[in-house]
């Protein structure tokens, strides 16, 4: 068996849907509109796939009562965090107050980035990156839905990048680290 990185296996393919025949993983078809992929046929790109390992260390605590684990999950990684959230719903349901209470009880300092909108704008990412850099923040706590999580991932990946965060959204190969 050969083991490589995902980039070794099929090069860089951002924002594509991959379909694989798992009974004989010899080929993979990528639905895409790009013409620079190998062997493109009517929008389907067929390429031979090598074996690879993929590791994406993200931990999401989801469900009733999971907020109680927040302090013990953060403490090994950070003493200062960015608290990212969207509109008023996290405050209306009490999640904001509970989060603040847990952070304070565990001696975790925080800086807030509020108002992250659905389908976040690049300005929210830029604002988050600025807050993280100015305050030497070590982690991001995202409370809310998918948009808040997406924005937080972009912030995390952009902190050590010297250019504009928009660049890494266009070319994830520019990401060298994340908090």
Provide the pairing of β-strand 40-41 with 44-48: antiparallel
Considering only residues 106 and 37, tell me which one the structure prediction assigns the higher pLDDT.
106
d(CA 157, CA 174) in angstroms, rounded, equals 9
Name the residue among 34, 95, 93 with its Cα closest to residue 70: 95
| Pair 108, 74: CB distance under 8 Å | yes
Percent of the chain topping pLDDT 70: 72
Name the residue among 114, 109, 121, 111 with its Cα closest to residue 154: 121
pLDDT score recorded for residue 129: 97
> Is pLDDT of 164 > 80?
yes
Number of C-beta neighbours around residue 118 at 10 A: 10
pLDDT score recorded for residue 53: 75
pLDDT score recorded for residue 123: 97
Q: Note the pLDDT tens digit of each residue in 72-115.
A: 999 999 999 999 999 888 999 999 999 999 999 999 999 999 99
Look up the pTM and report it.
0.68
Phi, psi of 48 (to 5 degrees): -80, 140
Phi, psi of 30 (to 5 degrees): -115, 120
Q: Note the pLDDT tens digit of each residue in 49-67.
A: 677 777 777 777 788 888 9
> Is pLDDT of 159 > 90?
yes
Q: Please state the length of the chain.
A: 179
């Amino acid at each position: 068996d050969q083991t490589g990185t995902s980039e070794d296996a099929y090069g860089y393919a951002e924002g594509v849907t991959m379909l694989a025949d798992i009974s004989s993983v010899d080929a993979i078809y990528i639905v895409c509109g790009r013409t620079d992929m190998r062997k493109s046929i009517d929008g389907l790109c067929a390429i031979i796939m090598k074996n690879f390992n993929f590791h994406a260390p993200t931990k999401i605590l989801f469900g009733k009562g999971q907020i109680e684990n927040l302090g013990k999950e953060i403490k090994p990684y950070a003493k200062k965090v960015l608290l990212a959230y969207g509109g008023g719903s996290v405050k209306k349901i009490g999640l904001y107050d509970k989060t603040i209470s847990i952070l304070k009880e565990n001696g975790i300092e925080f800086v807030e980035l509020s108002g992250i909108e659905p389908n976040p704008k690049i300005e929210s990412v830029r604002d988050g990156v600025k807050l993280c850099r100015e305050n030497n923040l070590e982690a991001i706590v995202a409370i809310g839905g998918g948009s808040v999580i997406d924005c937080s991932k972009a912030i995390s990946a952009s902190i050590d990048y010297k250019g504009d965060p928009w660049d890494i959204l266009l070319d994830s190969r520019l990401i060298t680290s994340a908090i």
